Structure 1
Amino acid sequence: MSSKQFEDGITAGRLDAKALDANFSDLHPAYDAHEALVAADRCYFCHDAPCQVACPTSIDIPLFIRQIATGTAESAARTILEDNILGGMCARVCPTETLCEEVCVRETAEGKPVEIGRLQRFATDTLMASGTHPFSRAASTGKKVAVVGAGPAGLACAHRLAMHGHDAVIFEARAKGGGLNEFGIAAYKSTNDFAQAEVDWLLKIGGIEIRYSSGLGDGISLDSLQADFDAVFLGMGLGGVNALRLDGEDKDGVMPATSFIEELRQATDLTGMSIGRRVVVVGGGMTAIDAGAQAKLLGAQDVTIVYRRGQEAMAASEFEQDLAAQKGVRIIHNATPIGIEGNGSLTGVRFAYTETQNGKLVTLEDGFTLPADQLFTAIGQSLTGAPDALDTAGGKITVGDTGQTSVAGVWAGGDCASGGDDLTVTAVAEGRDAAMNIHATLMGEA
């Protein structure tokens, strides 16, 4: 361990390039062809397929695994992509351990499921490497649909609309597409710029235009979109972050975990990424886990995630919690931040213990202080820029079963809409289903 790792304060280059390359290598390396055949051979091809029922996009998992087993990986990819056009990324980031693999019969019988996620990645990577796109556009309908946001929901919606012959124009506030797939997940889950490669591949169907640096509020309003397009889909995600609302939150060294993850994801040289010696993360979801694990991998000496409730209430899966622990991250439960210490720069965070009494979380008098020179907050995100005309509830746009909002001709899906699980795979399903309802409406079939 280099002496630089023991320096106080936030600094870059705590680890050398070789160590960082190893730390941020692919979390689940890709199968080769032989490994995929062996893994596929473990599938029972269940006729009632509990794995398919557990998949938010309802991929025919037994079918695509059988296709891999018979040596037709590109056909397997088409089976996957018919239901989930972002199947390549979902194979990397989807919490399969709590979805399809959790209910796998092999998991129930042996405690070791068929590795569905890795098989899905093998199939989709094989097809993408061929350079082909398995879907073609229907004859043009002459209809145009505006899609706000080039994240998973917006991309899935636009692709399905294009398949049915509609023209889709995506308005994306950032300079890149991909949404959380590009900006919001741990770097070791999606390596080699895969998120952008998948966006480029998806666009090969044609009929989709992306206008970057163009979001709602940037000279674009819902009224103008409704006037210029036959339908509108909103998939802009959650642009705001929730604050701790504590004095000192503006100190140097305090920042949203989402900003840290985004900076890391866009870094071309990780040796230039600054990280503290003692890092504290507040939160219990995937963002907290991703921030904590990556802080440790960048060379932080001590990383502690603190969550206000018990382990069973954490939104992050047990697998992800274990992964962070394996990388040296400590997780403290039942504690909430009550103070931020330091004169100008952060020096520590004060916490009070909590417990649940009669179903309510109660803050106790006892507590502790964690020394810290960097604090990442990950206590949820909030909807920003939602048009006033739309009904909202719980900080999200209210939608029906297939994404219809309270305004005629406007649909929504993904993290910005009610009812979702804030997962890439769920956002894809919502964008796809909204597109099907938009198509039916535009063609008078609804």
Structure 2
Amino acid sequence: MNSPYTTGIAASRLGADELAENFGDLHAPFDAHEASVAADRCYFCHDAPCITACPTDIDIPLFIRQIATGTPEAAAKTIFDQNILGGMCARVCPTEDLCEQACVRELAEGKPVEIGRLQRFATDRVMDQGVMPFTRAAPSGKKIAVVGAGPAGLSCAHRLAMLGHDVTVYDANPKAGGLNEYGIAAYKSTDDFAAREVDWLMSIGGIEIKTNMALGDDLKIDDLVGCFAAVFLAIGLGGVNALGLTVQGEQGHVVSDAVDFIEELRQTNDLTDLHIGRNVVVIGGGMTAVDAAVQAKLLGAENVTIAYRRGRDGMSASTYEQDLATSKGVKLLFNLQPKAIRGVGDATEIELEYTKVDDGKLVGTGEMRRLPADQVFRAIGQTLDTDAGLKVEGRKIAVTGAGRTSRAGVWAGGDCAAGGDDLTVTAVAEGRDAAMDIHSTLMGDA
């Protein structure tokens, strides 16, 4: 990011104290009294719509009742039974579009029970105590490989270990955690929570994590199938779609991947070292685009714009995330697609074309708009960048049932598998369900 051609990009736009405040916890955790008051708002519905809306099927009324009766440890056990990464999901899950949107209080009053914050209250209580509320079953003698230490892989590994299997988890990165560690906004997961959650999860025993080992380079699918009783792939989507822009002069360095920017930010020990432009444009309409744009603004960028090729209702980022972006000073522009990067040095601009829907297809109108842009982040979707020799569906690994791939003995889940919605909570559910299917298959129940 530190280029001689873009002096508009610089470090230390803000001081350390202001950056620390900007990147503090997005939602302050409940204290015991606040949790009690929030829990008392729950109607404890018998046929609770919030449970149906939860991808991991947590018994939400039960855990909230347990908080209301002063037993948050029991509440945490109820959550972890279904979602072993319930602590992180309480921080990053779009509850406003899932359980809280379905809440009867939301429908009746426009103000749901704060399920996400209550979930965090309970799970933090147990994790802060260092308590693992599960024990391993008797050893099964089966060894299973999990490739990818993100939400799906960790969820699968924990459930398999709990069932008595020995699990080896391989990951391409230096740290475990996947997108929880590298790919979400820093203000959603503070105080190194992702790493602490991995350490806590590992306390079940029976899990070994080997980092800096990627499928394809260091690991061959044939070798894994030959050495392990089962293989679960949770490799995510490592490739980033190209913008296909016309680039004028020395401007190629202006464009970079939003996921790389977020990773650099998450892994730095000093936010003042990060280089950020004065005029930042993010291309895309999903959660990654919002995370990149908001953090660019929090780092001190003067003008940050998200440009999305469709209308507002086409954005995959939730309404809450869109509102969060605008509340932080990010400008949202719709029906614009990038065409070219122009200019030299600080004069750099991005040229965008207005779009419309014509006969069901998105097309350019020919009308152009230019924006100052000394830094452009692309967040237009990711692709599978590993050929595992498995049947694919679109840009992902094709699966049936609980993650079964086209090859016997190989399962897949999380972002790399077809059919999901690229949410952390969905990845956790897919890892859990694949583990149960693997267990049934290996133990002769299927």
* TM class by smaller structure: over 0.9
Superposition pairs for residues 62-101 of structure 1, below 5 Å? 62-101=61-100
CA deviation after TM superposition for structure 1 residue 358, in Å: 1.8
User: Which residue does 2:156 correspond to in 1?
Assistant: 157
CA deviation after TM superposition for structure 1 residue 218, in Å: 2.8
The amino acid of 1:416's aligned partner reads: C
CA distance in 1, matches of 2:311, 2:217: 42
User: Which residue does 2:140 correspond to in 1?
Assistant: 141
The amino acid of 1:279's aligned partner reads: V
User: Which residue does 1:173 correspond to in 2?
Assistant: 172
Superposition pairs for residues 352-371 of structure 1, below 5 Å? 352-371=353-372
User: Which residue does 1:208 correspond to in 2?
Assistant: 207
CA distance in 2, matches of 1:426, 1:163: 20
CA distance in 1, matches of 2:7, 2:331: 19
The amino acid of 2:125's aligned partner reads: T
CA distance in 2, matches of 1:346, 1:93: 37
User: Which residue does 2:297 correspond to in 1?
Assistant: 296
The amino acid of 2:38's aligned partner reads: A
User: Which residue does 1:16 correspond to in 2?
Assistant: 15
CA distance in 2, matches of 1:219, 1:346: 44
User: Which residue does 2:3 correspond to in 1?
Assistant: none
The amino acid of 1:202's aligned partner reads: L
Q: Deviations over 1:265-317 (max 9, x none)?
A: 11111111110000000000000000000000000000000000000010000
Q: Work out whether residues 352 and 367 of structure 1, in 8 Å CA contact, stay in contact via their aligned partners in 2.
A: yes
Structure 1 length-normalised TM: 0.97
User: Which residue does 1:259 correspond to in 2?
Assistant: 260
Q: What secondary structure does 2:212 align onto?
A: coil
Q: Deviations over 1:82-132 (max 9, x none)?
A: 000000000000000000000100001111000000000000000001111
CA distance in 2, matches of 1:293, 1:109: 32
Q: Does residue 427 of structure 1 match 2:439?
A: no
CA deviation after TM superposition for structure 1 residue 38, in Å: 0.3
CA distance in 1, matches of 2:159, 2:343: 52
Q: Work out whether residues 7 and 346 of structure 2, in 8 Å CA contact, stay in contact via their aligned partners in 1.
A: no
Stretch moving more, 45-54 or 345-354: 345-354
User: Which residue does 1:226 correspond to in 2?
Assistant: 225
CA distance in 1, matches of 2:335, 2:345: 28
CA deviation after TM superposition for structure 1 residue 344, in Å: 7.0
CA RMSD of aligned residues (A): 1.2
User: Which residue does 1:4 correspond to in 2?
Assistant: none
CA deviation after TM superposition for structure 1 residue 341, in Å: 1.1
The amino acid of 2:425's aligned partner reads: V
The amino acid of 2:39's aligned partner reads: A
Q: Work out whether residues 281 and 305 of structure 1, in 8 Å CA contact, stay in contact via their aligned partners in 2.
A: yes
User: Which residue does 2:45 correspond to in 1?
Assistant: 46
CA deviation after TM superposition for structure 1 residue 387, in Å: 1.1
- Alignment gaps of 5+ in structure 2: 1-5
CA deviation after TM superposition for structure 1 residue 374, in Å: 0.2
CA distance in 2, matches of 1:9, 1:345: 6
Q: Deviations over 1:228-277 (max 9, x none)?
A: 10000000100111110123297122100000000001111111111000
Structure 2 length-normalised TM: 0.97
Stretch moving more, 327-336 or 353-362: 353-362
User: Which residue does 1:445 correspond to in 2?
Assistant: 445
User: Which residue does 2:381 correspond to in 1?
Assistant: 380
User: Which residue does 1:129 correspond to in 2?
Assistant: 128
Q: Work out whether residues 253 and 345 of structure 1, in 8 Å CA contact, stay in contact via their aligned partners in 2.
A: no
The amino acid of 2:197's aligned partner reads: E
The amino acid of 1:41's aligned partner reads: D
CA deviation after TM superposition for structure 1 residue 8, in Å: 5.4
CA distance in 1, matches of 2:368, 2:70: 59
CA distance in 2, matches of 1:405, 1:242: 24
CA distance in 1, matches of 2:408, 2:25: 44
CA distance in 2, matches of 1:279, 1:385: 31
Q: Work out whether residues 246 and 339 of structure 2, in 8 Å CA contact, stay in contact via their aligned partners in 1.
A: no
CA distance in 2, matches of 1:26, 1:248: 38
Stretch moving more, 90-99 or 214-223: 214-223
CA deviation after TM superposition for structure 1 residue 196, in Å: 0.3
Superposition pairs for residues 299-314 of structure 1, below 5 Å? 299-314=300-315
CA deviation after TM superposition for structure 1 residue 345, in Å: 7.7
CA distance in 1, matches of 2:232, 2:343: 45
CA distance in 1, matches of 2:282, 2:293: 6
Q: Work out whether residues 343 and 349 of structure 2, in 8 Å CA contact, stay in contact via their aligned partners in 1.
A: yes
User: Which residue does 1:34 correspond to in 2?
Assistant: 33
The amino acid of 1:204's aligned partner reads: S
Q: Work out whether residues 216 and 388 of structure 2, in 8 Å CA contact, stay in contact via their aligned partners in 1.
A: no
The amino acid of 2:203's aligned partner reads: K
Q: Deviations over 1:11-47 (max 9, x none)?
A: 0000001110111110011000000000000000000
